[in-house]
A and B are shown apart, each in its own frame.
Chain A
Amino acid sequence: MRKTIGGDWIAQDGEAIALRISVCRNCAARWYPPRKICSTCASNDLEQTVTGDRGVAYASTVVRVGAAPFRVPYVLSYVDIDGVRLLTHFDGDQAPPSDSPVRLTIGQIGSEGQTDLWSHLATPITEDTR
């Protein structure tokens, strides 16, 4: 069994994924997760759109005392992507340096009983994948 955390907010096209976001036509605020009402100006005139799959890791950490259902150690990153900030698991053993480029993919981040938990996942952009 597979469950995707935040799955309703992920637009998937094969390997590539993007985040579903909302952009307020009244005040230009950008929202992830997507919203029906703008939380800056309360307008209901929002464009529902998607981000690209490239971002920058703003800050990251290796979590060694964490929360179930994730197995420590796991790496979390705040990633800035097309004007929204996303908290995501990072695919690696080390925290990426601040300001390093990442690409969003989808993958397993934990498990709960027989259920594999999937979500968006930030992976480092290396010379090979750039």
Chain B
Amino acid sequence: MRPVFVAGAAVAPFGKHPGQSAADLGEESVVELLRTTGLLPELAEAGFVGSVYGGSLVAQRVLQRVGISGVPVFTVENACSSGGSAVHLAWQAIAAGIYDCVVAVGTENLSNFGGGALPLTTADAEIAQGVVMPATYAMRAQRYMYETGAGVDDLSRVSVKNRINGSRNPRAHFQAEVGLDQVNQSRAISDPLRLLHCCPNSDGAAAVLLCSAEFAADLGTPRARIRASVVRSGTFHTTFRDMTWPDITARTARAAYDMAGLSPADLDLVELHDAFSIAEFLHAEALGIAERGKAYRAVADGEFDRDGRVAVSPSGGLLSRGHPVGATGVSQISEAYWQLTGTAGELQVPGASVALTHVTGGGIFGVDNGACSVHILTAED
């Protein structure tokens, strides 16, 4: 396989943009990508656009507006991993030597759904019983707290940390810090989870430019190397499932570490899928950056702070940056790119040279998640 590089990234700021469709937001992110990289649109040989609710042919509807038309483009749907999957497919194409320059985008508008829990559209036996994503994560939280002794304050500390990180990020949906009491006293959503333990339904888009070594050298922009790109689907069964151990994350991460020849101890930062506070504990353990049952202590001890042992979600994570579902994976790659090229400004993790990004999601029956993607990127001198 050939080396693959990220040679540019752009984010259409996350937040509430009810007047802009997924195509509008996607366009904004690609315009910014072309502007900041100087890439001529006719040089893009293919495009992959991740979106869950953007509708048919959203890839064409985004890319044809900015001069990327005629070439093969694909709309990619893999629930919360849609954007990560779009990047993975772009990576495949370049690693395989098929293309030298591919654009990967994620875009979503969730304002159109109004408030509350996102509607689950994959009719199944559990959705028929009234399950919603906050309820699923609440049950994971109940079990985790039962097994480990963690408490609600521990969950809240994740929100406090990630909101501190997001307060420095001009691209974040929420840019205000919150206190522990504020989190604990926010509205009850699904016990033990409260509103500020849940990520917001956001609108937004992100775009990254992936290219071969030769193309990246010609373009001359700062670059980071993709050392691993892995997607896995959930393992389907209807028997006992350990809800404190997201098997899909563990399997995806293990494959990524193998591909990269790196281990959890090598990571300087992780952009993690903290759709709910409890998710940071579960996935940190499955990613191997905390011992089983100990991630809550790592958070309490500051090990996941921006200047801690390994920075977890220095961009603010989903809890602060927001979660425009299909855009999240691409925005994580963007944030990692800025960290590794030393251009993350106030968010900069000192000396960041190895980053891991992780998205997982899709509440469908019989799997812990529908799809998970993990990328490992390194700085290039």
Contacts and interface: CB of A to CB of B under 8 A. Distances in A.
B21 interface: no
A59 B243 contact: yes
Most-contacted residue by chain A among B190, B193, B237 (CB, 10 A) = B190
Contact of A6 (B128, B190, B193): B128
B188 interface: yes
A58 B129 contact: no
Interface string A37-65: 00110000000000000000011111111
B237 A29 contact: yes
Contact of B191 (A61, A109, A119): A61
A61 B138 contact: yes
A109 to B, nearest CB: 8
Nearest to A64: B188
B191 A89 contact: no
A76 B133 CA distance: 12
Given A60-B142, A61-B138, A98-B142, A70 B236 contact: no
Interface of B is mostly: loop
Given A58-B143, A65-B116, A78 B130 contact: no
Contacts of A64: 187-191
Given A32-B238, A59-B243, A95-B191, A76 B117 contact: no
Contacts of B119: 67
A5 B128 contact: yes
A78 B136 CA distance: 10
A65 B117 CA distance: 7
A98 B143 contact: yes
B139 interface: yes
A97 B146 CA distance: 8
Contacts of B129: 5-6, 76, 87-89, 109, 119
Contacts, number: 108
Contacts of B366: 39
Most-contacted residue by chain B among A66, A97, A109 (CB, 10 A) = A66
Nearest to A120: B129
B35 interface: no
B241 A85 contact: yes
Interface string A68-98: 0010001011101001110111000001011
A29 B240 CA distance: 11
A114 B240 CA distance: 37
Interface in B135-151: 135, 138-140, 142-143, 146-147
A28 B148 CA distance: 32
Given A29-B239, A67-B117, A110 B191 contact: no
Interface string B173-205: 000000000000001111111000000000000
B186 to A, nearest CB: 12
Interface string A2-46: 000110010000000000000000000111110000011000000
Nearest to A9: B125
Nearest to A21: B238
Contact of B132 (A33, A58, A67): A67
Contacts of A63: 130, 132, 134-135, 138, 190
Given A76-B130, A76-B139, 17 more contacts: A5-B128, A6-B129, A29-B237, A40-B237, A59-B140, A59-B142, A61-B135, A61-B138, A61-B139, A63-B190, A64-B188, A66-B135, A67-B119, A67-B130, A87-B131, A98-B146, A109-B130
20 contacts: A5-B128, A9-B125, A58-B143, A59-B140, A61-B190, A61-B191, A62-B191, A63-B130, A64-B191, A66-B130, A66-B132, A66-B190, A67-B127, A74-B130, A76-B139, A84-B239, A85-B241, A89-B129, A99-B146, A110-B130
Interface of A: 5-6, 9, 29-33, 39-40, 58-67, 70, 74, 76-78, 80, 83-85, 87-89, 95, 97-99, 109-110, 119
The 10 closest A-B pairs by CB, nearest first: A61-B138, A59-B139, A59-B143, A98-B146, A70-B130, A62-B191, A87-B126, A63-B135, A67-B130, A61-B190
